[in-house]
């Protein structure tokens, strides 16, 4: 079988066929977000605006489905592009995971994510991060993944750790400028735990 190649910025992602959906678990999928999802995503954000806005400052800039559509379009046309995936649990919208190439030389990417409160504490985000990590390492030739969290966002930190990411310390990297906690997973470590 010949593999088709799909470009992700300057990183090439192998795929048996062009796919927009990644299987996570029974009834759980990551689906590439398209602009037609704008209304659904806006309703989810608007219904939990205060809670989501606590750690996602961009929530304050989303006032309509059109704002969501503009964000989706901007992510896809940015350089390097940001891949956005909606997390679906039995076909219900549960949240979003993004993957952005951050360093082309060492082929690293950063994940960002949020989950609606009714889907939390079920292991969905952990499994979704593990699925997207597998995709990044095996199909996109990414060698390092990072996740940034607010120091106050303990639930997000627990998810990153449960998915196999390890927190950098001040000695490992200069995090003083952003104040964020940075979690990292390198391909060599992932291959040991997969």
Domain positions in the chain are: 4-193
Taking all residues of the chain, what is their mean pLDDT, rounded to a whole number?
A: 85
Rounded distance, CA 108 to CA 143, Å? 6
Continuous H helices in 78-153: 124-139
Q: Of 51, 35, 121, 125, give the one whose Cα is nearest residue 87.
A: 125
Residue 186 has pLDDT above 50, yes or no: yes
Contact 128, 87 (CB under 8 A): yes
Residue 59 has pLDDT above 60, yes or no: yes
What is the pLDDT at residue 177? Answer: 52
Report angle CA 35, 36, 40 to the nearest 5 degrees.
105
> What is the reported pTM?
0.84
Q: What is the pLDDT of residues 147-171, one digit of tens each?
A: 999 999 999 999 999 999 999 876 5
* Residue whose token pair is 């010949």: 2
Rounded distance, CA 131 to CA 39, Å? 26
What is the pLDDT at residue 9? Answer: 39
Residue with the bigger pLDDT between 30 and 16: it is 30
Q: What is the pLDDT of residues 78-131, one digit of tens each?
A: 877 789 999 999 889 999 999 998 877 778 899 999 999 999 999 999 999 999
Strands 144-149 and 108-115: parallel
Architecture of domain 4-193: 3-Layer(aba) Sandwich (3.40)
Contact 167, 149 (CB under 8 A): no
Tell me the CB-side half-sphere exposure of residue 69, using CA atoms within 13 A. Answer: 8
Contact 9, 102 (CB under 8 A): no
């Amino acid at each position: 079988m010949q593999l088709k190649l799909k470009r992700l910025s300057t990183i090439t992602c192998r795929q048996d066929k062009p796919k927009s959906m990644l299987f996570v678990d029974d009834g759980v999928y990551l689906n590439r977000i398209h602009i037609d999802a704008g209304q659904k995503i806006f309703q989810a954000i608007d219904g939990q605006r205060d809670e989501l806005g606590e750690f996602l400052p961009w929530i304050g800039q989303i006032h309509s489905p059109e704002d969501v559509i503009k964000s989706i379009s901007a992510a896809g046309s940015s350089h390097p592009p940001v891949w956005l995936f909606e997390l679906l649990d039995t076909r219900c919208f549960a949240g979003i995971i993004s993957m952005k190439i951050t360093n082309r030389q060492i082929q690293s990417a950063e994940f960002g994510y949020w989950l609606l409160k009714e889907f939390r504490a079920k292991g969905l985000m952990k499994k979704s991060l593990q699925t997207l990590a597998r995709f990044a390492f095996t199909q996109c030739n990414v060698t390092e993944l990072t996740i940034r969290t607010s120091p106050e966002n303990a639930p997000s930190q627990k998810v990153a750790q449960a998915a196999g990411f390890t927190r950098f310390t001040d000695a490992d990297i200069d995090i003083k400028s952003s104040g964020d906690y940075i979690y990292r997973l390198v391909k060599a470590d992932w291959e040991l735990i997969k």
